[in-house]
Amino acid sequence: MQATTLQRRKIGGLEVSLTGLGCNNFGWRIDAAQSARVVQTALDSGIDFFDTADIYDKGHSEEYLGRALAGRRREAVIATKFGMKFDETRQGARPEYVRQAAEDSLRRLGTDYIDLYQIHQPDPAIAETLGALEELVHAGKVREIGCSNFSAEQIREAGGRFVSVQNHYNLLHREPEAEVLPECRRSDLAFLPYFPLANGLLTGKYRKGQPLPPGSRGDAGWGPKVFTEENLDKVERLIQFAAGRGHSLLELAFSWLAAQPTVASVIAGAVSAEQVMANAAATRWNLGPEDLRQIDAILA
């Protein structure tokens, strides 16, 4: 299959596809063979940015991603994370653990370098953590360093050493707009939104007055935070807005994030080749200022 051309954006010295692939489903929801099909389809669709973490299914996500990229590693930009509790002895961000966590991830990924290494959550030892991360960069084991789940103040405390921040952001969850996105603009940081589809609510398969599809994230207990009557009402209005312009809610969710100037890549998970291809095509709707104004009015 010939790779499709997707828009590309910068994360520090890296260049990545505007649509990325979140690999948190690997192991937890799909096995190694299915994960490989998803990864191969992503590459063939023009997606080259893969985001995972050591804790995703206790390292299986990294393992499956590494296996899937065998022979195609140079086509991919790999982002992974460390710092959340892996087990009773592996957690946090002390310098000695940073080095161990990196080596463990390199081994599971089957590679000798990580393109973007992210601290998964704030840690009191951040100054020492940064020193250890920079040692990994100097050793050639990491190309760029980023953070996740950091506030604007915590980003500032890092003294400009990160190139990216990955936080929760989508049409229905706008919290980063208050402080984190302005800090990204000031500091020239790339922003990576996680949960871009609000746990599936913004795919269009969940509709007001209809039962949650069996086996879906909403049905599996993710629902109370996201699947509220208020949000379902907003979804109906967003579906009408998108349909009136010849687009789907999925395309609106991706393209709205892509229209935010600090967003470098919209990283969404997928469990099938079909989902990957839909995601790859979803950022091609260029929303103008009037579109964005009307969307804000819908959500107000």
Sign of torsion, CA 275 191 256 295?
Answer: positive
25 in Cβ contact with 53 (< 8 Å): no
Nearest residue to 256 via CA among 207, 199, 201, 193: 193
Helices (H) then strands (E): counts for the chain: 11, 10
Q: How many CB atoms lie within 10 A of CB 10?
A: 13
The residues near 19 (Cβ < 8 Å, ≥ 6 apart) are 6, 46, 47, 49, 254, 265, 266, 268, 279, 280, 282, 283
Q: What share of the chain is helix, strand, coil (3-state, %, to 5)?
A: 45, 20, 40
Residue 33 CA to residue 39 CA, distance in Å, equals: 10
Residue 64 CA to residue 67 CA, distance in Å, equals: 5
Question: Please, what is the Cα angle at 172 between 167 and 173, to 5 degrees?
Answer: 30
Which strand (E) or helix (H) includes residue 15? strand 14-17
Nearest residue to 172 via CA among 102, 95, 236, 113: 236
Pairing of strands 190-194, 266-269: unpaired
3-class DSSP assignment, residue 62:
helix
- Of 56, 64, 117, 194, the catalytic one is 56
78 in Cβ contact with 72 (< 8 Å): no
Active site residue 56: yes
Active-site amino acid positions: 56
